[in-house]
Amino acid sequence: MNRRLAILSVLLRYPDAALRSDLPDIARAIPQAGFRADLAPRLGRLARRLGLGDGLDREEAYVRLFDRGRGTSLHLFEHVHGDTRNRGPAMIELAQVYEQAGFALDARELPDFLPLFLEFCAHTREDVTANLLGQCAPILDALHARLLGRATPDARAYAAVLAAVLAEAGLRPAQQPTSEQERSDAEEFAELDAAWEAEPVVFGPESDPDKQGARAKVGAMIDRLRALRASHAIR
C-alpha cells in the first residue's frame, strides 16, 4: 500500500466527526510516511487545522470550497467533460478499472471523486497508479492552481494535498505560492501549532467545556445545519 496516497485521500474527504477523530493519528503518521521534505510540514498543519475549532465550521468551509461551482470540484471529470454526454462513458471506463482490480465501489460516491480515486491508487499496483496519476496530472495541476487562486487559508492548505499528489507522479505544480502567501501561511501555521500543543484535541461530548449550555449549543447547531441545507437548495 502507498501510505502517502492513503493519507492524502483521507485529508481530502469531508471533515465530519469520524474523520476528525482520526486526525491526531494522521498528523503523527505524516512525518513518517516519506512525503517530500517541503510538503510534510504543510500536510501536518492541514491535519491540525481540520482538528481545531468548531467541527461544523470546518464542514461549512469544505462545502464552500469544493461543492459550489466546478472550478474547485473534487470530481475529476467535471474539469474535463462538465455535464456533457462524454462524462458518462468516462465514468464507466474508470469504474471498470476499479472493478477489474477487485476494488468495491461505494454506491454513494462517483468513480471520479478524487478521494476515492486516491484511495484506489493507494491500494492498486504501482504501474496502474503511475499510469492513472500521469493521465490526471493536468487536471490535478489545474485544481492546485485554482485553489491557490482562491487566496484563502483553507484553499492554500488543501492545495498542499494536490501538490503532494503531483509529487507522487514525479511532478511539481506549475503554479507556486507567492512569497506573500508563504509569509501569511507561516504566521497562521505558527498559531495553529501553538494551539495544538497548548491544548490536547478531544472529540465528542467530553470536549464541551460548557455542559450546562449544551441545549443552547444544540439549538444553534440545528439552525446552522438548516442554513447550510438552504444554501444547497438554492444551488
What is the C-alpha to C-alpha distance for residues 47 and 59, in angstroms, rounded to an integer?
A: 14
- What is the average pLDDT across 189-211? 50
CB–CB of 28/194 below 8 Å?
no
What is the C-alpha to C-alpha distance for residues 100 and 103, in angstroms, rounded to an integer?
7
Domain ranges of the chain: 3-203, 210-235
- Each residue of 213-232: pLDDT tens digit? 444 444 454 455 555 545 54
**Residue 18 vs residue 70, higher pLDDT:** 18
- Residue 139: exposure state from Cβ atoms within 10 A (0-12, 13-18, ≥19): middle
pTM: 0.75
pLDDT at 212 over 60: no
Is 210 a residue whose pLDDT tops 60? no
Ranking 50-54, 89-93, 203-207 by mean pLDDT, the lowest is 203-207
Q: Nearest to residue 177, comparing CAs of 191, 192, 202, 157? A: 157
pLDDT at 201: 44
Q: Are 164 and 33 in contact (CB under 8 A)?
A: no
Name the nearest CA neighbour of 157 among 8, 2, 6.
8
